[in-house]
A and B are shown apart, each in its own frame.
Chain A
Amino acid sequence: MDFAFTREQLMFKKEVLRFAKKEIVPRVQEHDLKEAFDFESFRKMGDFGLLGLHFPTEYGGEGADVVTTVLAGEALGEAGVDGGLTLAYGAHTFLCADTLFRNGTEAQRKRYIPKLASGEWIGCMGLSEPDAGSDVASMTTTAEKRGDSYVLNGTKMWITNGPIADVAVVYAKTNLELAHAGISAFIVEKGTPGFSPGPPLIKMGVRTSQTSELVFKDCEVPAENLLGKEGEGFLYAMQTVEWDRSALLAPFVGVTTYMLKKCADYAKGRVQFGRPIGAFQAIKHKLADMRIFGEAARTLVYRIAWCKDQGRPLNHLEAAIAKLFIGDWSLAVTNDAVTLHGGYGYTHEFDVERIFRDTRLAPIGGGTSEIQKMIISKLI
């Protein structure tokens, strides 16, 4: 066993940190307050190579390994990039682009991956529905084969990047009689007649990411927009779990480091009872818990990334453990960070308030903590 990163990986992490601090972080607060997507930062991430980091160079990527890709996610969080932008990046690169890349034909790869890797296009992934969240197999969106086309009907819900996406990977039932095996995946481009995203939902956190419904009303897509094979959609959706439990969790790890530093700085400067509050053991206790959580989370995430680099099939138990731990344990420490800042922590002025709101998604998005417990208890 060896927990060391390579020199190159660490150097790259530093570069991402520097880039994010300079190019993204100065605009975070403004966009969070306006609930606006930061297109400029997103494009810059594309120019820097982050959006297509793990794709082969011939598709506009950088050919990075999974551990490096996850390190980049950690660096974004550590730099102070908000959870909205990192979620938008995750949904774009891993839930949408990676699914296209893995399961698409050469023509589909060529059409979409370079545009998505550069950030010229924005991608999203539609799986959840208003009445089918945790119970994905009960989805009711249908795709009916009619000649050389599929006709989609139904509504997707909670779709990150929905209102701004140029292309969507959409899961729909091609066979209503079947549960998981009846699900297929489709590529739907913006402007396709019958396809319209709803207005952005107003959310508690991750506010710079735009979330909406995707509505399909007799939306006809050419048959070649079927991704992979009919009936295999659920498998493709499950493939993204590897990324979901590594690259999408990595910003939470990074943000814990960022938050700890912010809290320590505040504790050193804020004086009460004639002493900096950092002199009180109760404040040190909170700082300690942040560090304890962050270190635990880090190892769980890199275990999944490293195994993926080895070409191993996802260990669902380990993946669920990582998601459950980070989802549930992140809440207490982000809550502590707000308390540590007193009344100031309750205002938009301080990052910890946003981090608290952003992190509240951790035990919900990408499969709730309860669903992780269901998975673990079945695999025990």
Chain B
Amino acid sequence: MNFDFSEKEKTFLAQVSNTMATFSKAQDLESGDLSMIRNHLTDSLAVLAPLDYLKIGLLKEGAPLSGTLALMAAMEQLSGIAPSIFLSVEMSTRLFGRILRLQEPTDDRLKIVEKLASGEVIGAVALSESAMNVENDPLATVGIREGGRIAVSGAKSYVVNGPIADWFAVVGRLDDQTAVYLIEKEAPGLTLTERIETMGYDGLAICGLGLDSVMVPENHIIGPIETSRCLDLLKLWENQILIAAALGMMKSSFEAARDYAKTHRSGGKPVIAYQEVGFKLSEMLTLYQTSQLYAYRAAWMADEDPKEAGVLTLCAKVFCTEAAESVAGKALQILSGEGYRSGGAAERAYRCAKFGQIAGISTEIARVRIGDAALGRR
């Protein structure tokens, strides 16, 4: 047992945090049109690549840290600074990137991984569909073998990075199993919908995809893989990202509320001196620290005992994402009028927080699965 990070880990984590804090101070990374969003992302990748941040979990060679726990802690640093950039970077690097590494990756795929790790390309993962929750319905996106290639047709909704991605990992059916089709942005038959506006994550580019007999060569197909194994793995990785996102939201909104409560005076004293405020901060910090340990332990378990990690990650995901909404809401309350103005950390976190409970595996389905595990059903 050991509850400390190593000196090397601590140094790296501080480096990521400081570098990105300095970088993000110079500009507003949390809004803009598509071209601004693309620039923010490519600029951020250019800042993160030299730190080798993008290599963690993707490449053994040159990665500054190893293991899912260290990855979680590294992601937490970035998510605490810029939520949209964080999600964008991670959906590309850690979700799209890790999919590329599945099942004996071809040289082609490894080349894309190298480019992801150096921040030269942007990836997106297209899984959800209109009857989106893959829990209930089989995927409607299907590949049909035609000669040496596969014709993929279907429609995908809510694809993070969709409007700015160079590559898409499109998840669909193949031979009654599940496969991931690697599709380039200019592929004939691929269309993007308008950018989708959302409640939070203003600096994120999201759209839907249409696929009309998009021809995919064999070497750009990952799988077919047994469906539940494939989806469980993808959702595990996505949930890990969402957990780190929740930690970041809690950090930024807690710190904003704490600093305000210590400096803003009312009735002749800083508002933290009132139990209604001070106790809220205590509850927030309790949720934040408990979430942090939860996240680390679930990440550790992913390497230690992958079977056990599935349910534990769901537990962590439910806890952390619900805690994030609670902490952001309390922070907003403490910051009061100041907090309600657009652009503050708490207001932003409050709007972003809900996403964590919806995406990946929704908290409802997660609870059903955790309950099933308790009943010995999974």
> Do B293 and A292 have beta carbons less than 8 Å apart?
no
Of B278, B282, B315, the most chain A CB neighbours within 10 A belong to: B282
> Do A318 and B289 have beta carbons less than 8 Å apart?
yes
| B window 232-283: CB within 8 A of A | 258, 272, 275, 278-279, 281-283
Chain B contact surface mostly: helix
> Do A1 and B69 have beta carbons less than 8 Å apart?
yes
Cα(A295)–Cα(B296), bound, Å: 12
Partner of B318, one of A288, A317, A324: A288
A306 within 8 A of B: yes
Please indicate the chain B residues that have their CB under 8 angstroms from the CB of A268 in the complex: 375-376
> Do A325 and B290 have beta carbons less than 8 Å apart?
yes
Of B1, B69, B297, the most chain A CB neighbours within 10 A belong to: B1
A260 within 8 A of B: yes
Nearest-neighbour CB distance to chain A for B125, whole angstroms, equals 26
Please indicate the chain A residues that have their CB under 8 angstroms from the CB of B2 in the complex: 1-2, 306
A291 within 8 A of B: yes
Q: Contact flags (1/0) for B1-39 with A, using CB distance below 8 Å? A: 111110000000000000000000000000000000000
> Do A321 and B319 have beta carbons less than 8 Å apart?
no
> Do A291 and B370 have beta carbons less than 8 Å apart?
yes
> Do A292 and B370 have beta carbons less than 8 Å apart?
yes
Please indicate the chain B residues that have their CB under 8 angstroms from the CB of A95 in the complex: none
Please indicate the chain A residues that have their CB under 8 angstroms from the CB of B304 in the complex: 3-4
A272 within 8 A of B: no
| A window 366-380: CB within 8 A of B | 370, 372-374, 376-378, 380
Please indicate the chain B residues that have their CB under 8 angstroms from the CB of A287 in the complex: 370-371, 374-375
> Do B1 and A67 have beta carbons less than 8 Å apart?
yes
Please indicate the chain B residues that have their CB under 8 angstroms from the CB of A292 in the complex: 315, 318-319, 370
Q: Which residue of A lies closest to B318 (CB)?
A: A292
> Do A321 and B294 have beta carbons less than 8 Å apart?
no
Nearest-neighbour CB distance to chain A for B96, whole angstroms, equals 27
A283 within 8 A of B: yes
> Do A377 and B282 have beta carbons less than 8 Å apart?
yes
> Do A288 and B1 have beta carbons less than 8 Å apart?
no
| A window 116-162: CB within 8 A of B | none
> Do A281 and B282 have beta carbons less than 8 Å apart?
no
> Do B282 and A264 have beta carbons less than 8 Å apart?
no
A21 within 8 A of B: no
Please indicate the chain A residues that have their CB under 8 angstroms from the CB of B318 in the complex: 288, 292
> Do A283 and B272 have beta carbons less than 8 Å apart?
no
Q: Which residue of A lies closest to B70 (CB)?
A: A1
B354 within 8 A of A: no
> Do B278 and A377 have beta carbons less than 8 Å apart?
yes
Cα(A303)–Cα(B292), bound, Å: 12
> Do B297 and A299 have beta carbons less than 8 Å apart?
yes
B372 within 8 A of A: yes
Partner of A299, one of B282, B283, B293: B293
Please indicate the chain B residues that have their CB under 8 angstroms from the CB of A290 in the complex: 374
> Do A373 and B279 have beta carbons less than 8 Å apart?
yes
Q: Contact flags (1/0) for A311-326 with B, using CB distance below 8 Å? A: 0000001101100110
> Do B375 and A321 have beta carbons less than 8 Å apart?
no
> Do B375 and A370 have beta carbons less than 8 Å apart?
no
> Do B285 and A1 have beta carbons less than 8 Å apart?
no
> Do B297 and A306 have beta carbons less than 8 Å apart?
no
> Do A324 and B282 have beta carbons less than 8 Å apart?
yes
> Do A5 and B370 have beta carbons less than 8 Å apart?
no
Please indicate the chain A residues that have their CB under 8 angstroms from the CB of B290 in the complex: 296, 299-300, 321, 325
Please indicate the chain B residues that have their CB under 8 angstroms from the CB of A318 in the complex: 289
Q: List 26 A-B contacts (CB under 8 A).
A: A2-B1, A3-B301, A263-B374, A267-B375, A268-B375, A281-B368, A284-B371, A285-B367, A288-B318, A288-B366, A288-B371, A289-B367, A291-B370, A291-B373, A295-B294, A295-B316, A299-B294, A300-B289, A300-B290, A306-B3, A373-B283, A374-B279, A377-B275, A377-B281, A380-B281, A380-B282
- Chain A residues in the interface with B (C-beta under 8 A): 1-6, 67, 260, 263-264, 267-268, 278, 281, 283-292, 295-296, 299-300, 302-303, 306-307, 317-318, 320-321, 324-325, 370, 372-374, 376-378, 380
In the complex, besides A268-B376, A374-B275, A376-B286, 13 extra interface pairs with C-beta distance below 8 angstroms are: A2-B1, A278-B371, A281-B364, A284-B372, A290-B374, A296-B319, A302-B3, A306-B2, A321-B290, A325-B286, A373-B282, A374-B279, A377-B278
Sort A-B residue pairs by CB-CB distance and give the 5 closest, nearest first: A284-B371, A377-B278, A376-B282, A288-B370, A288-B367
